[in-house]
Amino acid sequence: MMRTLEKFPSLNRLQHVGVLVCAGFLALEAGIEFEVFERTFGRGLESWRIDAAASFLAAVALAAFAILKALELRAESDRRLEAERRLAQLETQDPLTGLANRNRMLDVLGQALQARKTGDEVTGLVLIDLKRFKPINDAHGRPVGDRLLRMVADRLQSVARDGETVARLGGDEFAIVLPRLANPQAARHPAQRLVRALEAPFEVDDLALRIGGAAVGVATSADTELRPGVFVHHVDAALHRAKGGLRA
């Protein structure tokens, strides 16, 4: 039964319950046998009392061992579930900022393209490349650079509207998926909103750091039959333009 339960992760905790129930039955069985021995062979037979008591103590010890084993199994199960959760999280989440990563961004992009296949709406993508991040990172060290990236992520997330997905593609490159735009020109205003949010300095300890603006690339899908794979090519082209310093 235990081996069968192991095949179903959702029933893992039943193993612990099963162990405890079995241990309880063993202890109860030992107690019953003790009474049967006394009634059958007489209360005056000290040797039977000793054997029965020894059996009872052995059952109690076994029950204690079973309880400890159940606790150990539960701890191991919790550790395994936590490891699986973290692994699944790493597949879709940037570990430094907590934003969506590139894989998650592409998944959201594909869903947005599917959702707007009917009607005149388009999907937009804004790519942001921080201008002065590398000099700041070189001058103040990686810990300050990492904190700055987290603050940039928080600020972008704070100005994102409902339905917009902010992602970190790696390094100092960020992306924002804009679903259900009325037309290709409608992507310009969100892009300006996101860039303006980065103009104020970022306070890291006693430092007031300015990233010096950002290079921005904007891609939109005006073709209602555009496939996600084709749009990915547009995303990469927009990213290349952003790194080259072209502004929206």
Query: Which sequence positions are flagged as catalytic?
Result: 172
> Cα–Cα distances in Å, from 50 out to 16, 29, 30, 61?
32, 16, 13, 16
DSSP class of residue 94 equals -
Cβ neighbours of residue 167 closer than 8 Å, sequence gap 6 or more: 94, 99, 100, 101, 102, 104, 105, 108, 174, 175, 176, 177
The continuous run of DSSP H or E covering 208 comes out as strand 207-209
Give, to the nearest 10 degrees, the angle between helix 46-92 and helix 12-41.
180
Kindly state the tokens that stand for 190. Answer: 């969100």
CA distances from 37 to 41, 55, 62, 129, 138 (A): 6, 11, 21, 83, 83
CA distance 226 to 215: 26
Q: HSE on the CB side for 106, CA within 13 Å?
A: 15
Structure tokens at 71: 């606790």
Q: In which residue are the tokens 């040797």 written?
A: 47
* Cα torsion angle, 22, 23, 27, 30, sign: positive
